[in-house]
């Protein structure tokens, strides 16, 4: 074997393999299909936020598209879960079809406020954004998402088709009541859990190198937060807003007078304001929970993982420099470059 065909590889003995998890952290050569390191994923997320904020008008339109994509999931969740008598099964099938919405957002290049919260916070911590820019970034993304969501459900409300009939009409109203009836603390906590679930899926999407891996990561987040009965500020625009727009139809329906199994009374009516069953109240509380979940429990947590992983990598490099060195053939290097070089 010629010298130019060999590469020196730290403490790895010839003929042995490095486990993927260890190799990714230590920087050893890995196949191109291996997931990116956490450090690389965090950097990519921060760069995404900076790139989007560099063109505010385009970012606003991305937000409109993202809000509409979330409504795809809301519409499908109502359609497939109506008439299912078992709550757990209804939640599961709703989550399975809702997963498509986040996949559509990430693949199409649209934007979602909960992802922007996490990505923008990473950029802020990396000093790629200042605090004023970060506030503008998440505010514009939120407005764009709400605009897209209202546009989509407004079209449905103009001509609701089967959504204005039973069992879909009652199912939509019941889903809305389940969101607005929770206590303020429950809404905030379920908002935190929602973003923790959803944006972990975003991290998995960024870390994955293959199309299949990205699809699974993107699908996991919304499937989990919908099946888990959590609170998402943009999803709730559709879940609560659509029944509000069709509440006149619901009031004239016999189902509006039927007592519920839990209270023995008919389901309460919804409102747009800050009252007990109001959309604005739910939106504010959910946004707070989503923000805490996205910044502290996703962005903050993975920033810490990246920081200490980098420290461990430095230690491994120092150890490798003082260890016996063996050689392996460089022929497979086309398929086994360092993850950082492929990022």
Tell me the β-bridge partners of 278. Answer: 271
DSSP, collapsed to helix, strand or coil, labels residue 243 as helix
Q: What are the residues whose beta carbons fall under 8 Å from the beta carbon of 197, sequence distance 6 or more? A: 221, 224, 225, 228, 230
Task: With respect to residue 316, please indicate whether it lies within any of the assigned structural domains.
Answer: no
Count the domains in the chain.
1
Distance CA 268, CA 285 (A): 20
Q: What is the DSSP string of 278-331?
A: BHHHHHHHHHHHHHHIIIIIIIIHHHHHHHHHHHHHHHHHHHHHTS---EEESG
Q: Are 241 and 172 in contact (CB under 8 A)?
A: no
Residue whose C-alpha is closest to residue 69's, from 114, 38, 24? 114
pLDDT value of residue 84 = 95
Task: With respect to residue 24, please indicate whether it lies within any of the assigned structural domains.
Answer: no
The domain that holds 186 is classified in CATH as 1.20.1080.10
Task: With respect to residue 1, please indicate whether it lies within any of the assigned structural domains.
Answer: no
pLDDT value of residue 264 = 82
User: What is the enclosing helix (H) or strand (E) of 7?
Assistant: strand 6-8
Task: With respect to residue 247, please indicate whether it lies within any of the assigned structural domains.
Answer: yes
Distance CA 133, CA 142 (A): 14
Q: Alpha carbon of 189 to those of 177, 274, 290: distances in Å?
A: 18, 19, 9
Task: With respect to residue 66, please indicate whether it lies within any of the assigned structural domains.
Answer: yes
pLDDT value of residue 21 = 42
Q: Give start and end residues of each alpha helix (H) in the chain.
A: 20-26, 38-53, 56-81, 87-108, 113-125, 131-158, 168-180, 184-207, 211-227, 233-245, 247-251, 279-292, 301-321, 339-342
pLDDT value of residue 33 = 66
Residue whose C-alpha is closest to residue 146's, from 229, 71, 252, 196? 71
Q: What six digits make up the tokens of 229?
A: 């009965």
Intervals of the chain under pLDDT 70: 1-33, 311-343
Question: To 5 degrees, how large is the angle CA 43–CA 45–CA 51?
Answer: 100
Distance CA 238, CA 70 (A): 8
Task: With respect to residue 334, please indicate whether it lies within any of the assigned structural domains.
Answer: no
User: Phi, psi at residue 329, to the nearest 5°?
Assistant: -65, 140
- The total of other beta-carbon atoms located within 10 Å of residue 19's CB is 9
Question: To 5 degrees, how large is the angle CA 259–CA 263–CA 264?
Answer: 35
Task: With respect to residue 3, please indicate whether it lies within any of the assigned structural domains.
Answer: no
Q: What six digits make up the tokens of 242?
A: 């659509």
What's the domain range around 220? 38-304
Q: Alpha carbon of 171 to those of 50, 90, 237, 267: distances in Å?
A: 40, 10, 16, 11
Distance CA 251, CA 286 (A): 27
Task: With respect to residue 336, please indicate whether it lies within any of the assigned structural domains.
Answer: no
pLDDT value of residue 318 = 54
């Amino acid at each position: 074997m010629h010298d130019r065909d060999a590469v020196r590889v730290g403490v790895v003995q010839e003929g042995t393999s490095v486990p993927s998890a260890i190799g990714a952290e230590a920087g050893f050569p890995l196949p191109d299909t291996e997931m990116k390191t956490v450090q690389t994923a965090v950097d990519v997320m921060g760069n995404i936020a900076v790139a989007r904020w560099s063109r505010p008008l385009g970012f606003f339109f991305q937000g409109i598209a993202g809000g509409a994509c979330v409504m795809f999931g809301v519409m499908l969740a109502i359609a497939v879960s109506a008439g299912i008598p078992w709550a757990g099964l209804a939640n599961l099938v709703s989550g399975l079809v809702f997963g498509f919405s986040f996949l559509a957002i990430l693949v199409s290049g649209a934007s979602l406020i909960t992802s922007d919260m996490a990505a923008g916070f990473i950029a802020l911590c990396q000093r790629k954004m200042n605090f004023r820019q970060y506030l503008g970034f998440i505010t514009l993304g939120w407005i764009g998402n709400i605009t897209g969501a209202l546009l989509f459900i407004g079209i449905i409300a103009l001509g609701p088709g089967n959504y204005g009939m039973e069992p879909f009409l009652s199912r939509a109203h019941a889903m809305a009541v389940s969101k607005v009836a929770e206590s303020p603390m429950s809404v905030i906590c379920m908002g935190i859990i929602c973003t923790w679930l959803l944006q972990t899926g975003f991290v998995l999407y960024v870390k994955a190198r293959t199309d299949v891996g990205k699809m699974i990561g993107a699908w996991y987040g919304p499937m989990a937060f919908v099946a888990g009965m959590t609170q998402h500020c943009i999803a709730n625009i559709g879940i609560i807003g659509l029944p509000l727009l069709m509440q006149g139809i619901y009031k004239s329906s016999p189902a509006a007078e039927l007592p519920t199994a839990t209270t023995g009374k008919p389901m309460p009516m919804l409102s747009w304001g800050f009252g007990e069953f109001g959309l604005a109240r739910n939106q504010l509380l959910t946004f707070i929970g989503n923000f805490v979940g996205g910044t502290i429990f996703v962005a903050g947590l993975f920033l810490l993982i990246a920081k200490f992983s980098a420290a461990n990598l430095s230690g491994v490099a120092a150890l490798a420099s003082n260890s016996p060195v063996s050689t392996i053939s460089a022929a497979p290097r086309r398929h086994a470059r360092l993850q950082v070089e492929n990022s």
